[in-house]
Amino acid sequence: MILTALALAAAGKRISTVEADIRKRATPVEVAVASVPIPAGGEFTRENLAKKPVPSSGTGKRNVPAGDFELLLGAKAKYPIDPGEPVLWTDVEEPFETETFSRLVTEGRRALTIGVDTTSSFAGLLQPGDRVDLLAERPEAKTRSWIRDIPVIAVDRHLNRLARPADGSDATTVTLLVTPGEGAGIAGASAAGKLHWFLRNPDDNGTVVPRRAGNDAAGSPVELWKGGIRSPLHSAGVGAPS
């Protein structure tokens, strides 16, 4: 009798689980759909999008939930979408295509993306099109390397400074246009040392007159890179030219 009772309890629990799963699958969820025909390359707007309840069993991770409706606005469709057809994330063009982005990398240069924080992104003020100087410190080698006049081609996923949201949010990544030699120096300091960021005026191509800094440790070698060319080592007590 005890075994029979246990078997009945287990069967009842299994039945309840199956019923709950069926109810969950039958419960409708709202997803974004096309309200009118949307051609390939067409922009998503409030006029051509709508929210439609569909059974949860018929949705997946590619569906755009109604809660993410606003994220579609302004984006473009990769493929034609018929009225009433759900909009999938795979139907939405990325902010930039890999092939298009790679063509921004000029001959002899490489795109290098590195993580940044509030300080190195200048409190979120760094924008695509800016130019920076980097001071790369490597304590284990007791060296400091100046890498000058580096173009910033992207901040996070934004290539256009006008398209980047002006909400004051800090950037998390910055993509620089560097030579292989500059990239090796930056990557090495980023992994085993420290990078100091200096924002420069894009029109500033002048030079800084070398001068002695009394607080610097004399004798420490400082490398200077500009345009992928390494200059002779300078003393740490002498300001490197720009």
Sequence spans of domains, the chain:
24-91, 98-235
- Dist CA 195 CA 6 (whole Å): 66
| The model's pTM | 0.48
Per-residue pLDDT of the chain in tens (242 residues, 90 and over written 9)? 777 766 666 766 777 665 555 555 557 788 899 999 999 989 999 899 998 888 776 677 788 888 777 778 888 898 899 998 988 888 888 654 545 678 788 888 999 998 888 887 888 788 888 899 998 887 776 778 888 889 998 888 877 665 555 555 678 889 999 999 999 888 888 887 788 899 998 777 655 544 444 444 444 555 566 655 656 555 444 344 44
Q: Give SS3 for 99.
A: helix
- Dist CA 146 CA 226 (whole Å): 8
Neighbour count for residue 191 (Cβ, 10 Å): 8
pLDDT at 162: 55
CATH number of 24-91: 3.90.1210.10
Strand partners, 150: 132
pLDDT at 236: 44
Provide DSSP, 58-123. Answer: G--TTB-BGGGHHHHTT-BBSS-B-TTPBPBGGGBPPSS-HHHHHTTS-TT-EEEEEE--TTTTTT
Phi, psi angles (nearest 5°) of residue 30: -90, 135
pLDDT at 209: 42
